[in-house]
Amino acid sequence: MISFARTALAALLVGAISLAPSMTTSAQAQDAPPSLDSAEFNACLNNLRITPAFKAISPAAFARFTGDLTPDPSVLVLLNRQPEFTMPVWDYLAVLVDDERVGDGRAAHDKWRDVLAQIEQQTGVAPNVVIGVWGVESNFGQNLGGRPLVQSLATLSCFGRRQTYFRGEFAAALRILQEGHIVPEKLVGSWAGAFGQTQFMPSTFFRSAVDFDGDGRRDIVDSVPDALASTAKFLQNAGYRRGEPWGFEVRLPAGFDTSGASRKNKQPIAAWRASGLTLADGSPLPDSLPSAGLLIPARGGPAFLVGRNFDSLYSYNASENYALAIAHLSNLVAQSGNGTAFSTPWPTDDVGLSRAQNRELQILLLARGHDIGSADGMIGAKTREAIKTEQQRLGHKVDGRAGQKLLGELR
Ligand code: CA
């Protein structure tokens, strides 16, 4: 929705980024949850109740859904956390678009074929694109986040920065409950309030959620048809154009000046063709896009021409790498064949790991006596520390990053 409100999966990825060694002590001190005054919290809720933002919420509903609330200090830690470094795009893509997710996506594409066809008829959004968003946002409904939304949003409405923003989301969350779309115990999600299979913020829910299965509730938590139709509605609202591809990987002519490359700097396809660009296999650029911008996520790596539909994917999460993950996954689920690589490799000799490889790495670390808990495929702080120890032993760069080189050596 917005970069601020990370999705469940993005939160997991960010949570997986370790702290730089020199930052560990101060950052840990910073990470201690503040103690929050419950009297102050209750007074804040009482004041909020009568503000214009909450005018759609009846006093009875407000009392019912906030009656036993206590503040949750841990969301303030997450609100203030700054990522220590940006994950390289090839690590990002390796975990978000792995063989497992492509396989699950193809199965979902097949299982929901009829629903997806009706959704495309109504919104213009292609089935494989809806599946791509679903897979990246919530792993096809498997990662919804587990934090009670009302508690998180109430806390963020009364403490910390951006209270005005969160008050709007808090009010919208209460309205979702008041209107009976979702039952309270199912309204859980990320710390910032993204929830359900589409990972919508509550305000986005009221702009884009759809009751597709016709039961009168817009249930993006438990109804797959509602969730898929809501995703398509979001993309339609964001300017998705029926029948256009998101873009395609391209080959640049030798010596091409990429300094002005930007998704936003769109030119007619004919102009790109005249500049010598072709599809990745060398064939001429198709006319399926009226205009496109040149996206180069990493200098020397794969290049893409992207159109208006890529921008609609971007608006889902305000990250070009995120949009590329969705776009790439959407292509792969609509094709057959193995592998997830682009035609041009990433400019690295140590690409990232899939979720299966993360699990394998963790099993190898456990076997070497590292206390990292269970091999869940999520690279958390304990796994990072164990990786650093092994990197030191092997004479690698000590950064806690899970990559192919380390996995190869530990095998
Ligand atoms: Ca419904």
Please give the full DSSP string across 219-230, using - where no structure is assigned.
-TTT-HHHHHHH
**Mean pLDDT for all residues in the chain:** 91
Task: Please tell me whether residues 79 and 23 are part of one structural domain.
Answer: yes
Q: What percent of the chain has pLDDT over 90?
A: 85
Domain presence at residue 29: yes
Instruction: Name residues with Cβ closer than 5 Å to ligand 1, which is an ion.
Output: 211, 213, 215, 217, 219, 223, 226
306 SS3 class: strand
In the beta sheet, which residues pair with residue 303?
250
Domain presence at residue 151: yes
How many A from CA of 233 to the centre of ligand 1?
14
d(CA 154, CA 76): 11
Task: Please tell me whether residues 58 and 150 are part of one structural domain.
Answer: yes
In the beta sheet, which residues pair with residue 403?
352
Task: Please tell me whether residues 296 and 367 are part of one structural domain.
Answer: no
What does R_g of the chain's alpha carbons equal in angstroms? 23
Q: What is the pLDDT of residues 32-57, one digit of tens each?
A: 788 888 999 999 999 999 999 999 99
Domain presence at residue 40: yes
How many A from CA of 129 to the centre of ligand 1?
21
d(CA 141, CA 199): 10
How many A from CA of 226 to the centre of ligand 1?
6
CB 251 within 8 A of CB 221: no
Q: Would you state the structure tokens that stand for residue 379, as one six-digit string? A: 């690279």
Task: Please tell me whether residues 251 and 292 are part of one structural domain.
Answer: yes
Range of the domain at 319: 247-334
How many A from CA of 212 to the centre of ligand 1?
6
Domain presence at residue 382: yes
d(CA 77, CA 62): 26
Task: Please tell me whether residues 253 and 320 are part of one structural domain.
Answer: yes
Q: What is the pLDDT of residues 280-304, one digit of tens each?
A: 999 999 999 999 999 999 999 999 9
Task: Please tell me whether residues 214 and 149 are part of one structural domain.
Answer: yes
Task: Please tell me whether residues 315 and 259 are part of one structural domain.
Answer: yes
Q: What is the pLDDT of residues 328-385, one digit of tens each?
A: 999 999 999 899 999 999 999 999 999 999 999 999 999 999 999 999 888 888 999 9
pLDDT at residue 62 is higher than 80:
yes
How many A from CA of 210 to the centre of ligand 1?
7
Return the higher-pLDDT residue of 152 and 8.
152
Domain presence at residue 119: no
Task: Please tell me whether residues 369 and 305 are part of one structural domain.
Answer: no
d(CA 320, CA 10): 13
268 SS3 class: strand
How many A from CA of 213 to the centre of ligand 1?
5
How many A from CA of 100 to the centre of ligand 1?
29
Question: How far out from the chain centre does Cα 3 lie?
Answer: 9
Q: How confident is the model at residue 171 (pLDDT cuts 50, 70, 90)?
A: very high
Q: What is the pLDDT of residues 68-111, one digit of tens each?
A: 899 999 999 999 887 655 789 999 999 999 999 999 999 999 99
How many A from CA of 246 to the centre of ligand 1?
29
